[in-house]
Structure formats: structure tokens, C-alpha cells
Structure 1
Amino acid sequence: MKINDKTLLLSKKSEWLVISIFWLIYTFFDYTGNGLIRSVQGKTFFHLPDLFSITMYFVQIFTIFIIYTIVAPKFLKKINWKTIAISLILSFATFIFIRYVIEQVLTDILFDKINYFEGTPLSFYIYDNLHYGTFIVFSSLFIWMAVHLIKTLQKTNSIEKEKKEAEIKFLKAQINPHFLFNTLNNIYSLVSINSDQSLKAIENLSAIMRFTTYETHKESIEIEQEINYIKQYLALEQIRFGEKFFVKTAFDIQNYNTLIPPYILSPLVENAIKHGSVRESENPIVIDLNTTKDFLEISVKNKINQHQKDQEKGIGLMNLKQRLNHYFENQYQFEIQNDYITFTIYLKFPLNAEN
């Protein structure tokens, strides 16, 4: 999956800005510290740096650059004791080599000066530079690991977000075929008997398909739109079943303009109609929907139709559960009670949440 680098918080420019700020802060405190030492010794706080104080700053800059661009990216992408040891050895070697080239070779050529006397033992030179290089080496490696960790977390979050978006698009794509399997059977039944209600059924289906085509692809819709969809759906089923269609609805909505994820309530109703018994006046399907300022609650209760067998039973509810996880994570209640006679679904989720 391709990640757009422009979406990352830390661009290359930002990385180098962080490094530059770090080096400037270090230089400031280094100069200030030396100035305080001179003040204690009775000397002036401000002074022009000598040659090897200036060259040390260049050594540090080049060391940071090489560690950050070559050593750390090469060996610390997988952090373990081996890669840490190799990175430290190479980083210190880099500092020592750069300092030798600048202060023992270049300054000798340009200014006829060297920092370490001729004949300085190699062991002492390495030991002394381990001391001077410790802060810069560890700081450079730490900054790279911190930036690398931030970028890794950002990429992980970006991948997870794209994965969720892909999943939700897939789940929404499953909604329309699932719905069509139900409604087209209804239309077929009406047309086959030349019912005058077939035109009304087609009108209802048209309204429903407008909803599933244009609204379900949005991130959020008004509650009123979802309720209108449910009413159209029930009207279509009423035409199909005629007088022997018993459904009780109770809608108590505080604000019909409140936004909710699309197609989040309808699957409960569709499931009840598809798998429940709708022809018994003493056991009607009961749909109870209400909202408060902060929450929406819906319960759908139906008597189970023992004569209807459907191999695709539960597809709508499984999709709904996955979508609820996507939209609300663990901030919702989704309960199913099934005693093999009555099937009840209860759903509660927060309103005005960031969907």
C-alpha cells in the first residue's frame, strides 16, 4: 500500500531543521559554558574561538551528517544488540576519522598547525576522541531513532487508516447486493400477479435506491434520511404482504438533523423483516428508536420465522458489526437475544461523535 509522504508530519526539511536546532543549541551551551569557566578564572566571558574550537564544530557537523544519513539508516532499522554495537563503533570511528582529517591534515596544510603533537600514541588518540565524541555520537543516534520511530508510527497509522477506509468501502459495497436480493423478489412477486401496486412498489424502490446509491457512500447523514429510508422500505414490504403485515414503529427523535453514519439502523429492520414473522397480529415486529442529546438507542424485536431458511442469514448483521467497530470502536452497545422463538437486537451508540 503506497503511503503519500506529503501526509507525514516530519518531512526531510523538518528533520534537518530539528538537527540544525539541536546543533545550534549545543553550540550555544558549549560556548556559554566555556565563557562561564573563563569568568570564574578572571578572564573575559566573550572571546573569539581559537582555531581548534572552530574546527571541532565542523567535526561535529560532518559527524552528525554522516551518522544521520549513512550509519543509522543502514544499521538501525532493526534495533538489536548487534546493530547497536556496530552503529556505535562506526559512529565513533567516523568522529575520529573526520577529526583526524580536519585537525591533523587540513589545518597542517592550511595553517601549519595540528591539534595533537606528533608522536601521540594511537591508543591515546582513540581514547581521547572517544571522550570528545561521546555526546555527539549518542545524540545523533538518539535523534535518528526518535525521528525514525515517529515516522514509523505515522506510516503505521496511515496504513491503518487506509485499511479501515478500504474495509468500509468493501462493506458498503456488500450492502446494495444484499438489499437488492430482498427487494427485487418483492417487485417480481407484484409484477407476476399484475398488481396495481407494482407501480407504487417501483416508486418506493426508486427512492430506496437513490438512498443506497448516493447517501451510503457519505461519511455521515442526517437521522431523518435514514428514517425515511426505513419508512420507504416498510412501505415496500407492506405492498408485498398486504393486510397481513404487522409492524409497530415508535420514533422519538430529539433532532432529526443530527448526523449519524449512513445505513447504520436499516440493517436491523431489514434483518427482522427478512427472518421474522410479519403475518401474526399478536406477534408484530416492534421497532423502537429514540435519541437523547448524547445517544441513539434502537431495539428491534421479531418472532423468528421457523419456516424460512436462508443460507445468507446474518450477512447484514456481520457487516453492521464491522462498521460499528470502525465508527465507534468500543463506545457502543450491540446486544442480541435469541431464545429461538423471539429475536431481539439492541443498539446504542454516541451521537455527535467524530465518525
Structure 2
Amino acid sequence: MESDKKNLSFSKQKIALILIFFWIVYILFDYVTTALIRFSYGKPFFSSIKLFGTTMYIIQLITIFIVYFIIAPKFLKKINWKSILIALVFSFSTFIIIRYLIEQIITDYLFGLVNYPTKTAISYYIYDNLHYGSFIVFSSLFLWMTLHSIHTLKQNNIIEKEKKEAEINFLKSQINPHFLFNTLNNIYSLVSVNSPHSLKAIENLSAIMRFTTYETNKDKIEIEREIDYINQYLDLEQIRYGEKFYVEKEFLIENSKKLIHPYIISPLIENAIKHGVVKDINHPIKINLKTNSEYLEISVSNKINQHQKDETSGIGLTNLKKRLNYYFGNNYNFEIKNDYETFHIYLKIPLNDEN
């Protein structure tokens, strides 16, 4: 992120080089165009640049720098018709004043030559220089707006990236407490009755907490790591419920080393266990997970526990939905069906290096 910020804007040195390069390209274009016109009239293609041709190029370069570094930043912070008009007035005024100073005062002092007769009317002088200064003024303002737009776009992208990273870190921080509340309740129930499964439950919880502490902080993990986490979680719940824990699971994994974002599929299973009925042999919780080279698909269905009232219900799925939007945009399928008796969730996400 720090490197992004360092590359966010052009340095003044880079901008100066861009402006000089633009000026050189303009000089070459102007010279070649003029040479072609001369050549069409039978005159030599190449000719020396005269005094006021040289001064004009100098005037244009000075104007470009003043417009870019002073006028445009001051008046075009908010681009609208009023600000553009003011910027144009000051830019043309700058060109006219600089040209007058160089070609009517400095050249007169150094060489005894002026470009305009001393009796030239002010109105004509201004009108004539509006013509000569139009290209360099408009192109300078356009160049500033273009580079400013690129800078603004980069800045907005970095701000948006920082915002999303902050949000995803916040959502991950919500995962661990949410899960911890569930599992500690399970262990408490085992310890309270001196169950021999207490140590096994603590062992499972330790393995699970290693996952939630280390793996969920990674951008991506191997699928097998999340599956191990799911199995540890189900083992913990099996200890809690004993024989009356009816879960049917089927994992068909083509490549267990394939990378996925952590804690993507687990919330679906946790939600089913927490808010579903696990003791009904006729309506077991069903988990079907399969992958191929392109997609991961998981469906989880459970009978709804009509007697459970939980204020935290839906936190896991809400967080999951936000993370799916962040990771995949619109490139995923997330469906929830609820007929008030059965709760069914289907998720399909792409498996590739881009996500």
C-alpha cells in the first residue's frame, strides 16, 4: 500500500520532462508543417529559425509551465464552466504579457528589434495573440486536466482499496468471536457434566483456533485446510451431541491443493449447525461439497429449529455475503431458500488465480 502511495502522483521532475517533451514535439510539428508549406511554394525545405520564431518557442515553453504549475491548479480544482473561463482568461493574459515583455522589451533592448510596430493598437495586439496563443493555452490546460484526472483516478482506486481492505479485516475480526462464543458454549456443556469427551473437545478447539488465528489472516489457503477445519468443527459438535448428531456430508474434491479465500465455505456449515435441527434422524443436515478445475460448489440444507431465538442469527452469513462481494464482485452464485421448515444454501465460486 505504501508503494502504491509513492507511485500515486507524478513527481515535479517527471511532469517537467513531460511538458518539455510535449513542447519539443510541438516545435518539430510546427517546423515540419511550415517547411512543407515553404516547399510547396518552391522554396527550400530547411531554413534557419529567425529571431521571433525562436522567441515564440521560448514564450510557449514559459506559458506551458506557468499554466500547468500555477494557473490550472489554482482555478481548476473544481472543473466547471466558470473555472474554465477564468483559467482561459488568465492563461491568455499570461501568454500576451510574456510575449510583450520578450518581443517588445527584451529584444528591443538586446537587438533593437520589436515584433509589432510601436503604434500597434492594444486591441489588435490582444486579438492577434489570442490567435497565436490559442493552441498552446488550450493544450496546456488539457494536458493538466488529463494528468490531474489520472492522478485522481489512482487516488480514488487506492482509497477504495484501503477501504475494502479495512472492511475485510473488520469482517475477519468478527469471525473469531462469533465462532468462539459457539464453541465455548459447547465445551462448557461438556465440562459441566464431567464428560470424558472434554479433553477431546479442547483438543479440537485448539486446532480450530489455530486455523481461525493464522489461516484466516492469509489471503488464500489450500482447500484441504478449510476442510480440515470443517471436520474439526463437526467432530466438536459430534462430541457435544453424541449419537444424536445427524449430519450427512459428501466431499468430492478434485484438487485439495487448490487455493481459496479462507473461511468461505465454513460459515454455511456453522450456520446450519447453529440454527438447524441436528437431532432429527429423518431430517439430517446435508452437506455436499465438490470442486473441479474451475469451480467450487457447496450446498447445505437443514431443518429449521423453530424454538431457537438467537439475536446473533445471520451474522456469519451477512459477513460471508460482504466478503463474497469483495472477492468476486458479480462472479459468483449465492442462493438461499427458506420455506420456514427447511433452510437451503447454495454457493458456487470460481477457482482461479485471479480471485
Normalising by structure 2, we get a TM-score of 0.97
Secondary structure of 1:139's partner? helix
Question: 2:25 matched to which residue of 1?
Answer: 25
Question: 1:188 matched to which residue of 2?
Answer: 188
Distance 1:75 1:127 in 2: 23
**Mapped contact 1:3–1:158 kept (Cα < 8 A):** no
Higher mean Cα deviation, 103-112 or 315-324? 103-112
Instruction: Give runs of aligned pairs for residues 32-51 of structure 1, distance below 5 A.
Output: 32-51=32-51
Secondary structure of 2:49's partner? coil
Distance 2:238 2:230 in 1: 12
Question: 1:245 matched to which residue of 2?
Answer: 245
Distance 2:20 2:246 in 1: 74
Question: 2:273 matched to which residue of 1?
Answer: 273
Tell me the amino acid that sits aligned with residue 127 of structure 1. Answer: Y
Tell me the amino acid that sits aligned with residue 128 of structure 1. Answer: D
**Mapped contact 2:67–2:140 kept (Cα < 8 A):** yes
Tell me the amino acid that sits aligned with residue 264 of structure 1. Answer: I
Tell me the amino acid that sits aligned with residue 286 of structure 2. Answer: V
- How far did residue 12 of structure 1 move? 3.5
Secondary structure of 2:249's partner? strand
Question: 2:228 matched to which residue of 1?
Answer: 228
Tell me the amino acid that sits aligned with residue 190 of structure 1. Answer: L
**Mapped contact 1:3–1:159 kept (Cα < 8 A):** no
Distance 1:2 1:195 in 2: 52
Distance 2:229 2:70 in 1: 60
Distance 1:203 1:3 in 2: 42
Secondary structure of 2:277's partner? coil
Structure 2, gaps ≥5 residues long: none
Distance 1:203 1:134 in 2: 78
Do structure 1's residue 216 and structure 2's residue 216 form an aligned pair?
Answer: yes
Aligned length: 355
- How far did residue 9 of structure 1 move? 6.2
Tell me the amino acid that sits aligned with residue 337 of structure 1. Answer: K
Tell me the amino acid that sits aligned with residue 27 of structure 1. Answer: I
Structure 1, gaps ≥5 residues long: none
**Mapped contact 2:271–2:316 kept (Cα < 8 A):** yes
Question: 2:348 matched to which residue of 1?
Answer: 348
- How far did residue 76 of structure 1 move? 1.0
Question: 2:314 matched to which residue of 1?
Answer: 314
CA 1:143–1:23 in structure 2 vs 1: closer, same or farther (change >3 Å)?
same
Question: 1:326 matched to which residue of 2?
Answer: 326
Question: 1:132 matched to which residue of 2?
Answer: 132
Do structure 1's residue 73 and structure 2's residue 73 form an aligned pair?
Answer: yes
Distance 1:111 1:346 in 2: 85
Question: 2:177 matched to which residue of 1?
Answer: 177
- How far did residue 11 of structure 1 move? 3.9
Question: 1:155 matched to which residue of 2?
Answer: 155
Question: 2:292 matched to which residue of 1?
Answer: 292
Do structure 1's residue 104 and structure 2's residue 104 form an aligned pair?
Answer: yes
Cα RMSD for the two superposed structures: 1.5
